[in-house]
A and B are shown apart, each in its own frame.
Chain A
Amino acid sequence: MLEAYLKDALVARLTALADDEVILAQRLSEWVGHAPILEEDIAIANLAQDELGHAKIWLELRQELDGADPDRLVYFRDPLEFQNAVLVELPKGDWAFTMVRQYLFDAYENLWLKEATQSAYPPLAEAAARILKEERFHLRHSALWVERLGQGTEESHRRAQAALETLFPYARQLFQPLPEEEALVEAGVVPAPKALEGPYLEEVTAHLERSGLTPPKGGYVPKSRQEHTEYLWSLLAEMQSVARWDPEAKAW
């Protein structure tokens, strides 16, 4: 069982996990019907669907702790209450931008989930094990695309490198701990985000370099998940429009 003093901190982490997935899923689904080839259209719809499924798992774990309704959290919270990283809210950009972002996020998520399967809080450990099975496929797919774009044509390389210049610093925000997270880490409930950053940079840098790409040095790293860009506002306006238009509907 979870000690009472850890509850709020775990609610915050579960919300951050879910928000990353929900916002990324929304950006991915913007490609449906527009991806460069039919197979990718299908793949990206699959990715979006998986991320939404994962968000649902995290929010249901939260619901067990504080009773919050997952649908209300997703469709009726205001932008400043969202706890997603800036990385996932940036506009979808071109295909290289989308795939480089997906790779940077997938590599982080796989690492985090692998550690989280050892969580001292069994529901979290089980959820992580379940999600990890599906995330393996995401990482394989996006890693391959990074390689293909990085080593493809001069133009694909240029676009992938440009995407990386923008995205790489934002990826590092994923390792910023939440305000009350230390107690959770000490209790063995969640992995220490900072401890994952080193292995992440090593793994990602090696793959990027194999793909002919160079991770930029420096750049602005948002300090907390309270920071957002203006893009989140328009994303949510669209994502939440149907639910807010008819808040009493049984399903959207």
Chain B
Amino acid sequence: MVERYWEALRGVKDPEIPVLDIVEMGMVLSVEEEGERVRVTFRPTFSGCPALRLIREEIQKALEAAGAKAVEVVEARTPWTTEAMAAEAKEKLRAYGIAPPLPLPMASGDPPCPRCGSQEVALKNAFGATLCKSLYQCQACGEVFEAFKAV
């Protein structure tokens, strides 16, 4: 039965990157069921993320819609890492125009342009429109793009 709740959580999108859901982001650590009570343990991505409150509400709503009578959302201390992102999630990011996070050992390098794949990119700003992204410009095709920070 717990599978049904996992499925429901796939409907909860990251409000700042609406192509990704919180399960493929690696934010959900566990879903436990006790009768009609459901307990979700999740970890936030960036600690100052303003979307956190909204995500909690969305989790609550999604699980209630899936039949849960009581929902408990527990915030875990385990630090989130971009290594927890599913491979498909990274591909979705690229298709959406955001350079996916590089694997951690390469985190000090620059990501290739999500549009043309060129490695010739210049960092414009380590801080983007949201806490999780940096701003780059591709030197080859001229595209200005956001890149997900590897953490």
Contacts and interface: CB of A to CB of B under 8 A. Distances in A.
A20 to B, nearest CB: 15
Interface in A86-128: 123, 126-127
B47 A56 contact: yes
Contacts, number: 60
Interface stretch (A45-53, A167-175, A194-202): A45-53
Given A126-B78, A130-B77, A43 B151 contact: no
A132 to B, nearest CB: 9
Given A123-B77, A127-B77, A137-B149, A49 B48 contact: yes
Interface centre among B79, B129, B134 (most CB of A within 10 A): B79
Given A123-B77, A126-B78, A137-B149, A47 B127 contact: yes
Interface centre among B126, B127, B128, B149 (most CB of A within 10 A): B127
A51 B46 CA distance: 11
Contacts of A27: none
B54 interface: no
B127 A137 contact: yes
Interface of B: 46-50, 77-81, 124-129, 131, 134-135, 149, 151
Contact of A51 (B48, B127, B149): B48
Nearest to A144: B126
A interface, size bucket: 20 to 34
A55 to B, nearest CB: 9
Contacts of B134: 137
A42 B127 contact: yes
Nearest to B135: A39
Nearest to A49: B48
Contacts of B125: 39-40, 42-43
A134 B77 CA distance: 15
A169 to B, nearest CB: 29
A129 B47 contact: no
Given A56-B47, A137-B134, 13 more contacts: A39-B124, A39-B127, A46-B128, A47-B127, A53-B46, A53-B49, A54-B48, A123-B77, A126-B78, A130-B79, A130-B80, A134-B46, A134-B47
Nearest to B125: A39
A133 interface: yes
A244 interface: no
A238 B66 CA distance: 45
Contacts of A134: 46-48, 131, 151
A199 to B, nearest CB: 21
Interface centre among B46, B48, B49, B124 (most CB of A within 10 A): B48
